[in-house]
């Protein structure tokens, strides 16, 4: 009541101001609020009560609202809490900042260690020492030290390029400005900036008292504090750091002073960095799991938020050999904790039909805050899951969010179940086209049998086909696709390219909302896409499990559309070389292979492919230009026994140098690396006149 009254008086007063008076007032308020901020943040000695301070800010805001033209560059509303990303200079990391693969189960951890053994061709019982350290839920930084002095610090950004936060990071008291003792000519130190749970609670309490922004969690508070254009604000926030790795490194210490990650952590400490003292070495999977379990038990009592455990191979020589897959190292993994949970009401269950015809149940929830994010929907996976948990509309449910994955319903509060509720009946008809929806034996998913006659599938497939990362055809929204489909104008992706020929212009112009110009624009957009890179083409087909990364792998492996198509048709026979080659592609397992092969096995899909091929120019895959490696862009085949490295290591290395590794020899093969025991492939290479080298010669060629 008093509050409403107070603001009313203020508003009235503001309403009486002339523009000139308002400008003078804003100037005075900016200076006064700044003086109070300095007293509060810098000297920790507030000069006025919080209420008086709030009144000043409220008055400033009221005047700004009435006279937006008069908002000053140094307005208090601009200075505080405005993380203006465009205001930061960009910094390119000398060595990219990568992410980590995730492990969610004990089995994933076992697989991680097994993969390392296989890659390094170690015996099954070889000890793989790893470090286990808490994964801090903060935000990562990379700080460059030249001759031991901190010169530039950046956020992770997209991994290649981050934001310059040098001035801000220098305000963190734990951050060494100068490395103690001997330092290399250049080193990028990497770690995490975080805020303790206690400091976060205190910060939020003062923010709330001031009427300023409160943060959802310590991570957001740390990020908001670090990404301030005014580093004085950062200075006032209680930020801390942990250092854990390095990026670029040059100079006398390179590779000499530490052979293991543990030794490097000791070096970090000697230089003056805080290092997490819970980090320990584990020598087996059970030890890793025990360390993870213990960390989970201690999690709530730790002063900082963590979201899992990071395991990294301790030997740096092994780390170098293991290298990277896409954007994550093979030598490290994050073992994640289960996620945060919240309770809410499940209002209704919707059955969606995906472009592959799968019926997917989705829970519509009363929106609820889960770990700082508002959640209004959750996946229910499939009908068995609904039946097993007896999830009903109207139930109170516990949902959880784990990292970036879609929120899920984990539990039903049956004690809160409303009277008269009944079990959910999963439909056996497609909610879109009313065709039968059936479940194959051994399948968990029920699928609509309508195929391309089902609007959900056809429309969804065409929508995917024209989407940005696929054919990128502008001006064709979902509504248009639906309308074209239901009128029989475009029933599949290939028909997009024949629309104009089929008198599409007249037909479209008869439709509401289409004028000559918009029709011409659409046809132009379609014409522009008649030439398409192979990887985009593959992705656009919407084959199950074939996302952009897999599409790229396939394009990389087969090079041309014809080669890919012929191989996929031949791979129907699981005993064939084609099938073996497909599953030999790194990161393509039998499950993806099955889906790709199944796609080609369907006649209606092959028909559409033929129709598309007629209309399009599908460009061969172009390997990324990777410097001047002698095998960049070349097609290499390995055969026989390799001695120095395992087959998968050799393959990964060749790929990282820009080569394409093929499973069989053809006229297009540039180089065959033949070890002892090489048989038919070697003969073929000789017959075709393809260059053949020994493993030793190959290693000399690529420089080791």
Report if residue 594 touches ligand IVH, rule: CB under 6 A.
no
Nearer to ligand IVH, 98 or 554 (CB): 98
- Least distance to ligand IVH, CB of residue 332, Å: 5
- Least distance to ligand IVH, CB of residue 342, Å: 23
- 542 three-state secondary structure: coil
Element containing residue 674 per DSSP (H, E): strand 671-674
Stretch of 228-236, 329-337, 421-429, 680-688 contacting ligand IVH, by CB under 6 A: 329-337
The angle at the Cα of 19, spanning 17 to 22, to the nearest 5 degrees, equals 60
Q: Is the dihedral of CA 154, 157, 158, 162 positive or negative?
A: negative
- Least distance to ligand IVH, CB of residue 303, Å: 15
Nearer to ligand IVH, 220 or 467 (CB): 220
Nearer to ligand IVH, 75 or 314 (CB): 314
- Least distance to ligand IVH, CB of residue 192, Å: 5
Measured CA to CA, the distance from residue 544 to residue 560 in angstroms comes to 21
Question: Which residues neighbour 124 within 8 Å (Cβ) at sequence distance 6 or greater?
Answer: 117
- Least distance to ligand IVH, CB of residue 100, Å: 4
Q: Copy the structure tokens of residue 37.
A: 């901020």
End-to-end CA distance of the chain: 78
Q: Which of 3, 5, 135, 261 is catalytic?
A: 135
The angle at the Cα of 406, spanning 405 to 407, to the nearest 5 degrees, equals 110
Q: Exposure of 452 by Cβ count < 10 A (0-12 exposed, 13-18 middle, 19+ buried)?
A: middle
Measured CA to CA, the distance from residue 462 to residue 583 in angstroms comes to 28
Report if residue 282 touches ligand IVH, rule: CB under 6 A.
no
- 140 three-state secondary structure: strand
- Residue whose entry in the numeric block shows the structure tokens 């107070």: 6
For ligand IVH, which residue of 37, 192, 395, 495 counts as binding (CB under 6 A)?
A: 192
- In the chain, how many H helices and how many E strands? 27, 26
Nearer to ligand IVH, 105 or 326 (CB): 326
Distance of CA 159 to the CA centre of its chain: 11
Q: Is the dihedral of CA 38, 41, 43, 46 positive or negative?
A: positive
Report if residue 145 touches ligand IVH, rule: CB under 6 A.
no
Q: Exposure of 610 by Cβ count < 10 A (0-12 exposed, 13-18 middle, 19+ buried)?
A: exposed
518: left (phi over 0), alpha (psi -120 to 50) or beta: alpha
Q: What are phi and psi of 103, to 5 degrees?
A: -120, 135
Report if residue 310 touches ligand IVH, rule: CB under 6 A.
yes
Stretch of 327-335, 348-356, 596-604, 674-682 contacting ligand IVH, by CB under 6 A: 327-335
Measured CA to CA, the distance from residue 599 to residue 439 in angstroms comes to 18
Count other C-beta atoms under 10 Å from residue 366's C-beta: 11
- 4 three-state secondary structure: helix
Q: Copy the structure tokens of residue 459.
A: 């429309």
- Least distance to ligand IVH, CB of residue 232, Å: 26
Count other C-beta atoms under 10 Å from residue 348's C-beta: 11
DSSP 8-state secondary structure symbol assigned to residue 358:
B
Nearer to ligand IVH, 97 or 470 (CB): 97
- Least distance to ligand IVH, CB of residue 242, Å: 7
Q: By Cβ distance, which residue is nearest to ligand IVH?
A: 140
Nearest to 98 by CA among 329, 385, 398, 391: 329
Report if residue 360 touches ligand IVH, rule: CB under 6 A.
no
Nearest to 244 by CA among 309, 335, 162: 309
Measured CA to CA, the distance from residue 88 to residue 75 in angstroms comes to 19
Report if residue 100 touches ligand IVH, rule: CB under 6 A.
yes
- Least distance to ligand IVH, CB of residue 143, Å: 13
Q: Copy the structure tokens of residue 167.
A: 């001035």
- 514 three-state secondary structure: coil
Measured CA to CA, the distance from residue 497 to residue 486 in angstroms comes to 18
Report if residue 163 touches ligand IVH, rule: CB under 6 A.
no
- Least distance to ligand IVH, CB of residue 521, Å: 43
Query: In this structure, are residues 280 and 132 in contact, taking their beta carbons and an 8 Å threshold?
Result: yes
- Least distance to ligand IVH, CB of residue 327, Å: 9
- 306 three-state secondary structure: strand
Nearest to 296 by CA among 254, 339, 352, 359: 339
Nearer to ligand IVH, 264 or 537 (CB): 264
Q: Residues 104-133 vs ligand IVH: string with x where CB under 6 A?
A: -----------------------------x
For ligand IVH, which residue of 148, 224, 329, 504 counts as binding (CB under 6 A)?
A: 329
Stretch of 52-60, 328-336, 361-369, 663-671 contacting ligand IVH, by CB under 6 A: 328-336
Stretch of 94-102, 163-171, 429-437, 443-451 contacting ligand IVH, by CB under 6 A: 94-102
Stretch of 31-39, 134-142, 361-369, 650-658 contacting ligand IVH, by CB under 6 A: 134-142
Nearer to ligand IVH, 169 or 522 (CB): 169
Nearer to ligand IVH, 329 or 371 (CB): 329
- Least distance to ligand IVH, CB of residue 130, Å: 12
For ligand IVH, which residue of 36, 59, 135, 330 counts as binding (CB under 6 A)?
A: 135
Stretch of 70-78, 175-183, 326-334, 602-610 contacting ligand IVH, by CB under 6 A: 326-334
SS percent in the chain: helix, strand, coil, step 5: 40, 20, 40
For ligand IVH, which residue of 334, 466, 571, 654 counts as binding (CB under 6 A)?
A: 334
Measured CA to CA, the distance from residue 662 to residue 679 in angstroms comes to 16
Q: Residues 215-254 vs ligand IVH: string with x where CB under 6 A?
A: -----------------------------xx---------
- Least distance to ligand IVH, CB of residue 2, Å: 47
Nearer to ligand IVH, 120 or 332 (CB): 332
For ligand IVH, which residue of 7, 77, 99, 545 counts as binding (CB under 6 A)?
A: 99
Report if residue 140 touches ligand IVH, rule: CB under 6 A.
yes
Nearest to 550 by CA among 581, 588, 594: 588
416 catalytic per annotation: no
Nearer to ligand IVH, 294 or 530 (CB): 294
Nearer to ligand IVH, 330 or 355 (CB): 330
Q: How many residues bind ligand IVH (CB under 6 A)?
A: 14
Nearer to ligand IVH, 135 or 355 (CB): 135
For ligand IVH, which residue of 30, 33, 63, 98 counts as binding (CB under 6 A)?
A: 98
- Give CA separation, 307 vs 30, 136, 245, 415, in Å: 41, 7, 18, 31
Nearer to ligand IVH, 310 or 571 (CB): 310
Report if residue 332 touches ligand IVH, rule: CB under 6 A.
yes
Q: Is the dihedral of CA 212, 217, 221, 224 positive or negative?
A: negative
Q: By CB under 6 A, name the binding residues for ligand IVH.
A: 98-100, 133, 135-136, 140, 192, 244-245, 310, 329, 332, 334
Catalytic sites, residue numbers: 135
């Amino acid at each position: 009541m008093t509050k409403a009254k107070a603001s009313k008086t203020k508003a009235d007063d503001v309403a009486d101001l002339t523009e000139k008076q308002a400008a003078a007032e804003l100037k005075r308020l900016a200076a006064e609020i700044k003086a109070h901020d300095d007293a509060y943040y810098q000297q920790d000695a507030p000069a006025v009560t919080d209420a008086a301070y709030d009144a000043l800010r409220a008055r400033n805001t009221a005047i700004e609202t009435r006279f937006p033209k008069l908002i000053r560059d140094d307005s208090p509303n601009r200075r505080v809490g405005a993380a203006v990303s465009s205001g930061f200079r960009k910094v390119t990391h000398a060595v990219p900042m990568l992410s980590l693969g995730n492990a969610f189960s004990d089995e994933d951890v076992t697989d991680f260690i097994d993969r390392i053994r296989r890659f390094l061709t170690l015996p099954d019982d070889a000890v793989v020492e790893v470090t286990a350290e808490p994964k801090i839920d903060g935000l990562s930084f990379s700080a460059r030290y030249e001759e031991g002095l901190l010169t530039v610090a950046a956020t992770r950004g997209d991994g290649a390029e981050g934001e310059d936060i040098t001035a801000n990071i220098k305000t963190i008291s734990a951050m060494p400005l100068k490395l103690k003792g001997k330092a290399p000519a250049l080193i990028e130190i990497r770690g995490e900036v975080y805020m303790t749970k206690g400091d976060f609670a205190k910060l939020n309490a003062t923010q709330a008292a001031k009427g300023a922004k409160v943060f959802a969690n310590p991570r957001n508070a740390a990020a908001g504090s670090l990404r301030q254009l005014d580093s004085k604000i950062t200075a006032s926030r209680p930020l801390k750091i942990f250092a854990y790795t390095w990026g670029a490194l040059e100079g006398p210490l390179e590779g000499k002073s530490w052979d293991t990650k543990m030794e490097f952590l000791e070096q970090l400490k000697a230089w003056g960095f805080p290092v997490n003292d819970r980090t320990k070495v584990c020598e087996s999977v059970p030890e890793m799991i025990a360390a993870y379990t213990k960390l989970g038990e201690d999690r709530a009592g730790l002063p900082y938020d963590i979201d899992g455990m990071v395991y990294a191979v301790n030997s740096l020589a092994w780390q170098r050999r293991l290298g990277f897959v896409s954007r994550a190292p093979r030598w490290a993994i994050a073992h994640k904790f289960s996620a945060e949970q919240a309770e809410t009401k499940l209002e209704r269950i919707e059955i969606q039909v995906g472009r592959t015809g799968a019926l997917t149940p989705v829970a519509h929830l009363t929106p609820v805050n889960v770990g700082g994010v508002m959640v209004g929907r959750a996946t229910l996976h499939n009908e068995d899951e609904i039946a097993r948990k007896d999830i009903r509309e109207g139930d109170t449910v516990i949902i959880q969010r784990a990292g970036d994955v879609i929120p899920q319903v984990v539990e039903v509060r049956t004690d809160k179940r409303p009277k008269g509720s009944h079990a959910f009946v999963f439909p056996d008809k497609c909610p879109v086209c009313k065709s039968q929806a059936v479940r194959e034996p051994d399948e968990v998913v029920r699928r609509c049998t309508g195929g391309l006659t089902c609007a959900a599938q056809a429309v969804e497939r065409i929508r995917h086909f024209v989407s940005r990362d696929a054919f990128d055809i502008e001006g064709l929204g979902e509504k248009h696709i639906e309308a074209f489909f239901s009128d029989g104008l475009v029933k599949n992706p290939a028909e997009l390219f024949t629309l104009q020929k089929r008198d599409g212009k007249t037909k479209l112009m008869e439709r509401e909302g289409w004028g000559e110009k918009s029709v011409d624009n659409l046809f132009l957009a379609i014409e522009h896409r008649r030439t398409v890179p192979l990887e985009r083409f593959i992705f656009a087909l919407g084959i199950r499990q074939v996302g952009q990364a897999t599409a790229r792998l396939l394009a990389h492996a087969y090079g041309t559309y014809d080669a890919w198509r012929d191989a996929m048709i031949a791979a129907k026979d699981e005993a064939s070389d084609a099938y073996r080659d497909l599953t030999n592609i790194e990161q393509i397992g039998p499950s993806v292979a099955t889906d790709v092969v199944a796609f080609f096995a369907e006649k209606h899909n092959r028909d559409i492919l033929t129709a598309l091929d007629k209309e399009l120019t599908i460009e061969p895959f172009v390997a990324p230009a990777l410097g001047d490696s002698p095998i960049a862009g070349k097609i290499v085949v390995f055969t026989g026994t390799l001695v120095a490295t395992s087959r998968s290591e050799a393959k990964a290395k060749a790929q990282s140098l820009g080569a394409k590794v093929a499973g069989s020899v053809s006229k297009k093969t540039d180089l065959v690396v033949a070890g002892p025991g090489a048989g038919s492939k070697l003969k073929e290479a000789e017959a075709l006149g393809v260059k053949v080298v020994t493993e030793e010669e190959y290693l000399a060629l690529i420089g080791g």
